[in-house]
């Protein structure tokens, strides 16, 4: 290749020998760089912040029970939804209205559950979004307003209070003969509908060591993360405790400022590793195989016996103007047997890649359902070097 480039430069440019040598030298350097960088590009690297979580930086789930009012006749039936009736009576009594002895009959109120995620390090007075879901037999929450509702965490404490108008993405309309429903009209959302009333005390900047939790636990990946952090910090500050945890001691240059250390660490890139695993969803026939799945040499044949029985009854009747004979229905049965004789035995050699294995099975005309059985049979024969996990 370089000889042809050299000839081309010599014929088309009045360049000196030194210039030609310089151009060829540059081409050689470019080719060397491509050779060095291509294998590195083939191994995908990920930021630590995309494959792991840091200790203390997490969300907390909140839940609450409340009432939605202002519905246009699409609320709960107070006769069947007892919890809605009792909640309505209790709310009116707290407001000074005695509704115990009255006959409540309204369909503009619905009992709902409110869910929200409390972001990490949220401060008192800030707002967050909430999701409102119908609990009873309400038909739609369109146009409804959520009354003041406390939101509790797993410890039973109130961390936020929600209230506001509900926005839904669906609707329902119909008459006596037909009903049209679009989306889910019994679930809505209130943007900035809750105010945080309690903070979570966690002093991240004062920590002397921080734990990094891998989202996909793996021994090799945990060790690579620790080595990458140590190379960046220039000290043996990180060590892997288990496949899911890497502990990082805050060095002196980050003393009292663990946030700055985590900011620098989360941008480091690491090549992840994974266990050879085959995931199978029996219900939908979905198969997911990792790139490290390998098989030993094995021969595979796949075929199905199909028997098709077709009934085509015929009517037999006497000739016209005949005084004898009866009209009868005569059975006609056709049986076809397909043994898939065109299917052949295929040999998959040892150590083939995922793509080669899929191509080999597809060459046999194997569908997803049959492929599940084949993979399980290969595993039972000891030829599949991977774990099979049935979802």
Is residue 160 within 8 Å of residue 195, measured between CB atoms?
yes
Q: 65 and 192: one domain?
A: yes
The pLDDT value given to residue 300? 66
Q: 364 and 348: one domain?
A: yes
Band of pLDDT at residue 316, cut at 50, 70 and 90: confident
Band of pLDDT at residue 13, cut at 50, 70 and 90: very low
From CA 118, how far away is CA 63, in angstroms rounded?
10
The 10s digit of each residue's pLDDT in 329-341 is 777 777 665 555 5
Q: 179 and 213: one domain?
A: no
Band of pLDDT at residue 18, cut at 50, 70 and 90: very low
Q: Does 55 map to a domain?
A: no
Q: 376 and 298: one domain?
A: yes
Q: Does 322 map to a domain?
A: no
The pLDDT value given to residue 351? 63
Q: Does 124 map to a domain?
A: yes
CATH (domain of 262):
3.30.70
Average pLDDT over every residue of 237-254? 93
From CA 349, how far away is CA 342, in angstroms rounded?
22
Q: Does 353 map to a domain?
A: yes
Q: 162 and 250: one domain?
A: no
Question: Half-sphere exposure (CA, 13 Å, Cβ side) for 363?
Answer: 13
Whether pLDDT at 42 is above 60: no
Whether pLDDT at 197 is above 90: yes
pLDDT: which is higher, 80 or 354: 80
Q: 240 and 288: one domain?
A: no
Q: 284 and 257: one domain?
A: no
Q: Does 251 map to a domain?
A: yes
Whether pLDDT at 233 is above 70: yes
Whether pLDDT at 58 is above 50: yes
From CA 59, how far away is CA 53, in angstroms rounded?
11
Q: Does 323 map to a domain?
A: no
The 10s digit of each residue's pLDDT in 121-172 is 899 999 999 999 999 999 899 999 999 999 999 999 999 999 999 998 876 7
Q: 73 and 182: one domain?
A: yes
Band of pLDDT at residue 296, cut at 50, 70 and 90: confident
Average pLDDT over every residue of 305-329? 69
In terms of Cα–Cα distance, which of 238, 244, 237 is closest to 221?
Answer: 244
Is residue 123 within 8 Å of residue 196, measured between CB atoms?
yes
Q: 192 and 221: one domain?
A: no
What mean pLDDT, rounded, does the chain reach? Answer: 79
Domain boundary among 196, 230, 245: 196
Q: Does 53 map to a domain?
A: no
Q: 188 and 290: one domain?
A: no
Q: 180 and 237: one domain?
A: no
Q: Does 136 map to a domain?
A: yes
Q: 119 and 247: one domain?
A: no
Band of pLDDT at residue 279, cut at 50, 70 and 90: confident
The pLDDT value given to residue 35? 41
Q: How many domains does the chain have?
A: 4
The pLDDT value given to residue 311? 65
- In the chain, the percentage of residues whose pLDDT exceeds 90 is 38
- What are the b/e assignments for 324-344, b being 16+ CB within 10 Å? eeeeeeeeeeeeeeeeeeeee
The 10s digit of each residue's pLDDT in 80-96 is 888 999 999 999 988 88
Q: Which domain holds residue 255?
A: 209-271
Domain boundary among 196, 228, 253: 196
């Amino acid at each position: 290749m370089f000889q042809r480039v050299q000839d081309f430069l010599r014929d088309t440019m009045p360049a000196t020998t030194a210039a030609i040598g310089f151009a060829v030298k540059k081409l050689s350097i470019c080719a060397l760089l491509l050779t060095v960088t291509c294998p590195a590009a083939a191994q995908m690297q990920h930021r630590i912040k995309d494959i792991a979580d840091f200790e203390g930086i997490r969300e907390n789930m909140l839940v609450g029970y409340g009432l939605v009012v202002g519905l246009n006749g699409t609320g709960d039936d107070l006769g069947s939804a007892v919890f809605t009736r009792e909640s309505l009576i209790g709310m009116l009594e707290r407001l000074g209205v005695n509704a115990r002895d009255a006959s409540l009959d309204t369909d503009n109120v619905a009992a709902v559950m409110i869910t929200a995620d409390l972001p990490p390090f949220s401060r008192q007075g800030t707002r967050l979004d909430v999701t409102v879901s119908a609990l009873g037999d309400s038909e739609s929450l369109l146009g409804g307003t959520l009354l003041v509702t406390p939101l509790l965490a797993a410890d039973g404490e109130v961390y936020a209070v929600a209230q506001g108008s509900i926005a839904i993405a669906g609707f329902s309309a119909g008459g006596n003969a037909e009903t049209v429903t679009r989306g889910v009209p019994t679930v809505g959302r209130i943007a900035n509908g809750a105010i945080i009333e309690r903070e979570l005390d966690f002093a991240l900047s004062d920590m002397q060591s921080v734990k990094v939790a891998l989202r996909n636990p793996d021994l090799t990946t945990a060790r690579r993360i620790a080595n990458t952090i140590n190379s960046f910090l220039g000290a043996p500050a990180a060590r892997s405790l288990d496949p899911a945890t890497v502990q990082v001691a805050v060095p002196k240059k980050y003393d009292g400022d663990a946030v700055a250390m985590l900011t620098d660490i989360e941008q480091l890139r690491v090549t992840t590793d994974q266990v050879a695993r085959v995931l199978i969803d029996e219900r939908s026939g979905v198969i997911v195989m990792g790139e490290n799945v390998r098989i030993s040499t094995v021969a595979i044949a796949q075929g199905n016996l199909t028997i098709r029985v077709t009934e085509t009854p015929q009517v037999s009747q006497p000739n016209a103007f005949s005084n004898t004979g009866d009209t009868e229905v005569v059975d006609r049965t056709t049986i076809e047997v397909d043994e898939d004789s065109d299917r052949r035995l295929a040999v998959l050699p040892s150590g083939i890649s995922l793509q080669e294995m899929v191509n080999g099975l597809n060459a046999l005309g194997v569908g997803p359902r049959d492929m599940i059985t084949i993979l399980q049979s290969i595993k039972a024969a000891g030829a599949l070097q991977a774990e099979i996990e049935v979802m």
